[in-house]
Structure 1
Amino acid sequence: MGPARVFPSLHRATPLVGAVALLGLLTACGGGGDSTGAVQTPAGTGGTATSPAATDTGGPPTGPASSEPGTTGPPSVDTTSPATQSGGPGTRCHTSQLRASIGRPSPGAGQRNFPIVLTNTGDHTCTVRGYPGAAFVDAAGKQLGPDPKRSPDTPTTVTLTPGSSAWAGLTYASPEISGARTALPKSLLVTPPDERDSLKVAWTAGEVPVAGNESSVFLTVVQPGTGG
């Protein structure tokens, strides 16, 4: 078994675990579903970690949500990805233009880290910026645990040509170490930045923390590539 893989940061080649360690894992504060059990999936947003979830200012959501099986196996690493970081304008990627998947996990010291990968499946170049939304759900579609928190960072615009990808890091403390109460999700709902419609990804990585000590889940901003 080779050395543990770590996520690069958006600005420096520091592990995602290091970013979360600076934050400190916070105690979860409440569930993410309403009294009927319906999931209140958080919208992705191009704002900073201190901003509230943004609404879709580019018009109504386009297209239905699609699904993509998740995997804990190694994804194909995009070594020549045309995805780039840019501050320039562009047409925002809508949910109907994207496919979501979960890349190969990268274990850390007491941490579990996963890249959430968004791939442009459309025929036109588009952009993503900021944080995706994410929610673990059970087989009935009920959300498990609170919405993830955002690791502080500065969002940049990522340009996706057809077939290229961007990724955001999802991380949490290993439940067997933290002692958090856990649940076994069926899927992870992923909402692209500034969108309302979600993409459902099968969750095959085991139990996740939903309450108790060090049960918070964290997300990073999107950046180019697959996180592999």
Structure 2
Amino acid sequence: MRARRSVTPASALTIAAAAAALCACGGGGSGASPAPSRTATPTPPPPGTGAPTASAPPSTSGPSQASGRCRTDELKVRISTAGPAAGQRFAFLTLTNTSGSACHVRGYVGMLLLTASDHPIKTNLERLSPPGPQTVVLRPGGSAYARLQWTVVPGAREPVHGACAPTPGLVWITPPDERAHLAVAWNQGVVCGGGHVSTTPLRPGAAPR
């Protein structure tokens, strides 16, 4: 995993065509909360992923007047493989509070895939609902996670032989209602279907194993 970094909106000039995918939505939390671009019924998790683990003690769900919104520089991100299904791939995205104070997240992350040399790759992020967003309070060391899903089957306008698209080496993740992003290595392989990736809203606790 690469060292995380926060990048200010000034860098968005180089990725104007992909800015919509990188935008994160809070779904009713503090700050701007645009409605999800579209909704769909989530696909059941692939075999072997198991049920979500119990929420770790540092994380709790529900609003808290004592906690402000989690800022990008207070978080770290991790992406872990969740197992394949026929033509589909799954991963868990985990945000962890690295600050010394409680904060909260609500809704969906923003996402942009890039090559290993930082060139943007078309990313079409779909926000799934239900379940709808919930406020997740992260005490120091606490985590929230979302499940990602995409296809490795070439779309109608993609090459059938060879790679359907450039293989990502990096992904930018924007926490809900934030503008700066975190960068993390993408070790999950190619994303077909025009860069279509679906994501659930953030949920409390550590990602299932």
The normalised TM-score by structure 2 is: 0.70
Please say if 1:198 is aligned against 2:153.
Answer: no
Greater strand percent: which structure? 2
Contact 1:120 1:162 in 2 (8 A): yes
Please say if 1:133 is aligned against 2:110.
Answer: yes
What displacement does 1:177 show? 9.3
Change (3 A) 1:177 1:209: closer
The CA deviation string for residues 18-74 of structure 1, in whole angstroms up to 9 with x for no partner, is xxxxxxxxxxxxxxxx99655526221112797168xxxxxxxxxxxxxxxxxxxxx
What displacement does 1:86 show? 0.6
What displacement does 1:145 show? 1.4
In 2, Cα distance between equivalents of 1:45 and 1:87:
17
Q: Secondary structure at the match of 1:208?
A: coil
What's the counterpart of residue 226 of structure 1? 206
| Amino acid of the structure 1 residue aligned with 2:172 | L
What's the counterpart of residue 119 of structure 1? 96
What's the counterpart of residue 137 of structure 2? 159
* Number of residue pairs the alignment of both structures matches: 169
Please say if 1:142 is aligned against 2:119.
Answer: yes
| Amino acid of the structure 2 residue aligned with 1:141 | D
In 1, Cα distance between equivalents of 2:121 and 2:135:
30
The CA deviation string for residues 113-157 of structure 1, in whole angstroms up to 9 with x for no partner, is 111110000000000000000110113322211331111231110
Q: Secondary structure at the match of 1:205?
A: coil
In 2, Cα distance between equivalents of 1:150 and 1:162:
27
What's the counterpart of residue 4 of structure 2? none
In 1, Cα distance between equivalents of 2:120 and 2:62:
34
Q: Unaligned stretches of 5+ in structure 2? A: 1-11, 38-52, 159-163
Most deviating of 37-46 and 165-174: 37-46
Contact 1:115 1:226 in 2 (8 A): no
In 1, Cα distance between equivalents of 2:104 and 2:126:
23
Q: Secondary structure at the match of 2:108?
A: coil
What displacement does 1:103 show? 1.8
Percent of residue pairs bearing the same amino acid type:
33
Given candidates 73, 85, 98, the residue that maps to 1:96 is 73
What's the counterpart of residue 56 of structure 2? 80
Contact 1:42 1:147 in 2 (8 A): no
Please say if 1:171 is aligned against 2:155.
Answer: no
Q: Secondary structure at the match of 2:188?
A: coil
In 2, Cα distance between equivalents of 1:103 and 1:199:
16
Change (3 A) 1:224 1:36: closer
| Amino acid of the structure 1 residue aligned with 2:61 | Q
Q: Secondary structure at the match of 1:128?
A: strand
What's the counterpart of residue 20 of structure 1? none
